[in-house]
Structure 1
């Protein structure tokens, strides 16, 4: 179970007091020197903390910092950049340790806001990625599958449980999305959550919409198994809020109602196993994520890739529609969707044009090309159109696309220097060892 702290460092100090050595990291020297600030993540394993810091430090020139706790408080030890860590001189470290306890701040930069230092600390030793469920009203489609957003307070001024739950997610957590009385898809937490305008926000990636949603009627047909998962986990504090309401739970005839009124709840593994096909859907979505070509490309330039096939197709069709309108303005009157090995054939009195179209909902600095697309462009006069930054929204009838930035390259032929291999075909050796 992950240890989390949402306010002040006193509780964190008390929670770690029985440990001999603990390592933690902060986003900057200024964050560490703020009295009472919490580390982003902690572990007994220094290498684990360092790896986490390098992967999740804020972009820019400021270094993150790593500190060690020996039972008497945090002591600064290293500065961390994208390239690794460097040890601080003892006198330099003492200066920052003194600032943390209320001493002189010296030449430190501006103080970070309290929301940036009163954060939920991730315990890297005890927290494995888990599954959550976002519960949306039917009318709420904003950024579905793209982000979690939970406000801090209810209308009566009390704190919302969903606020702290969103702040407790970690990269790699999976989020099921409940919408229109169905589990419609799953996404992955992309990075550490943060606070913005009195709300907890976590960015998501690789949203996959299920071909067949898991509806409330589907769950009611498996009512005994779902209620069994509820009964099995109800005394576990990790699952104090079961995703679905169970009426008459204390009687011999409990019944399954709809989803909870809470916006964001944890999903116990027992429930995932109880619902027929749900774990397989999660695993299948994980396969899509694992095979994402963007993860195999060089870090400097990653090709745009849509994990959800339905969303990807909607983006592709919209991009082609935008390009067709552009070609018509150029005087092409006979335009045909070809598909392979190029997307569009455009004809006017004096020319025939082959067109390759790439679409993306994000800013695209690279695109994925098939072997046939590269070969065709080398052998035929081809124009490349890229339509990126397309606005994609999910409605009751599916994905709706609009807008986009259009760029064009005529007489386009991809050079070998600009091509990066994403996968290889490996021919298996004829000889092998057979083990039974």
Structure 2
């Protein structure tokens, strides 16, 4: 079969790396089997319950959950060209924005997305665009109306969710109109000096956005330590 959107990993994944996270990988595979109610043609076998080994025939059947766990978050399938326009926000299959462990990459993605949003509102005829940062990213005056804009950027393709802080959610509830501007599918690369470059991406906008409480899911829980 021909390969589509093939791109090599930035660095190989060694078996030692897999076995260093053996517990997490086995847990994911077992959870998928329970969810599907059948045996999974997994890319790895838990050999002797001691180590993971490649399951040769099924190594290409790689669950998306393992991709997010094992692959560098800066890796994403290559997209063709830049987004030709901004679509009104629509839901995709559930793919989360995820985390970037490298602060430089995270900052570059945020900058790329904010620049894309500013360019969009300039084209729309905004008379004022002001960067704020917190608790929202942009203050825009468009058609005489002040709008606040929350911007999210990611290398993930077809995002179905993004990460929000409590402050961002509270602000969207308290001020309208607020827009949610998402740029996903950004291609990020980092050279040996640590300099990150970003290109491409698909832009989507949810105008007059108020977070639906039914769509909010906690990703962290604050735990109060008991007295010693």
Matches of 1:365 and 1:390, distance apart in 2? 15
Cα offset, 1:351, TM superposition: 1.9
State whether structure 2 residue 184 is matched by structure 1 residue 383: no
Are the structure 2 counterparts of residues 169 and 394 from structure 1 closer, same or farther at C-alpha, using a change threshold of 3 Å? farther
Cα offset, 1:121, TM superposition: 6.0
Cα offset, 1:309, TM superposition: 1.7
Larger radius of gyration: 1
Report the 3-state secondary structure (helix = DSSP H, G, I; strand = E; otherwise coil) of the residue aligned with 2:198.
strand
State whether structure 2 residue 172 is matched by structure 1 residue 370: no
Report the 3-state secondary structure (helix = DSSP H, G, I; strand = E; otherwise coil) of the residue aligned with 1:401.
strand
| CA deviation string 1:302-359 (max 9, x = no partner) | 3433232211111111011111111001001421211000001122461222110001
Pick from 36, 51, 58 the counterpart of residue 127 of structure 1.
Answer: 51
Cα offset, 1:51, TM superposition: 6.7
Pick from 187, 200, 222 the counterpart of residue 425 of structure 1.
Answer: 222
| CA deviation string 1:186-219 (max 9, x = no partner) | xxxxxx8449xxxxxx9642459xxxxxxxxxxx
Pick from 201, 205, 212 the counterpart of residue 71 of structure 2.
Answer: 205
Are the structure 2 counterparts of residues 52 and 427 from structure 1 closer, same or farther at C-alpha, using a change threshold of 3 Å? closer
**Aligned residue number for residue 37 of structure 2:** 83
Matches of 1:315 and 1:194, distance apart in 2? 29
Question: Alignment RMSD, CA only?
Answer: 3.4
**Aligned residue number for residue 410 of structure 1:** 207
Are the structure 2 counterparts of residues 417 and 52 from structure 1 closer, same or farther at C-alpha, using a change threshold of 3 Å? closer
**Aligned residue number for residue 4 of structure 2:** none
Matches of 1:51 and 1:424, distance apart in 2? 21
Matches of 2:198 and 2:163, distance apart in 1? 20
**Aligned residue number for residue 336 of structure 1:** 130
Matches of 1:405 and 1:411, distance apart in 2? 20
Pick from 104, 108, 112 the counterpart of residue 318 of structure 1.
Answer: 112
| CA deviation string 1:254-283 (max 9, x = no partner) | xxxxxxxxxxxxxxxxxxxxxxxxxxxxxx
Provide the TM-score with structure 2 as the length reference. 0.62
Are the structure 2 counterparts of residues 169 and 335 from structure 1 closer, same or farther at C-alpha, using a change threshold of 3 Å? farther
**Aligned residue number for residue 292 of structure 1:** none
Whether the 8 Å contact between 2:44 and 2:54 is mirrored in structure 1 is no
| CA deviation string 1:71-112 (max 9, x = no partner) | xxxxxxxxx972246xxxxxxxxxxxxxxxxxxxxxxxxxxx
Matches of 2:224 and 2:35, distance apart in 1? 41
Are the structure 2 counterparts of residues 314 and 428 from structure 1 closer, same or farther at C-alpha, using a change threshold of 3 Å? same
Q: Which has the higher strand share?
A: 1
Cα offset, 1:422, TM superposition: 1.6
Matches of 2:190 and 2:96, distance apart in 1? 25
Matches of 1:81 and 1:395, distance apart in 2? 40
State whether structure 2 residue 148 is matched by structure 1 residue 354: yes
Matches within 5 A, 1:61-80: none
Report the 3-state secondary structure (helix = DSSP H, G, I; strand = E; otherwise coil) of the residue aligned with 2:71.
strand
Name stretches of at least 5 consecutive residues in structure 2 with no aligned partner. 1-25, 75-93
Provide the TM-score with structure 1 as the length reference. 0.34
Matches of 2:214 and 2:180, distance apart in 1? 17
Matches within 5 A, 1:258-337: 302-337=96-131
Are the structure 2 counterparts of residues 362 and 302 from structure 1 closer, same or farther at C-alpha, using a change threshold of 3 Å? closer
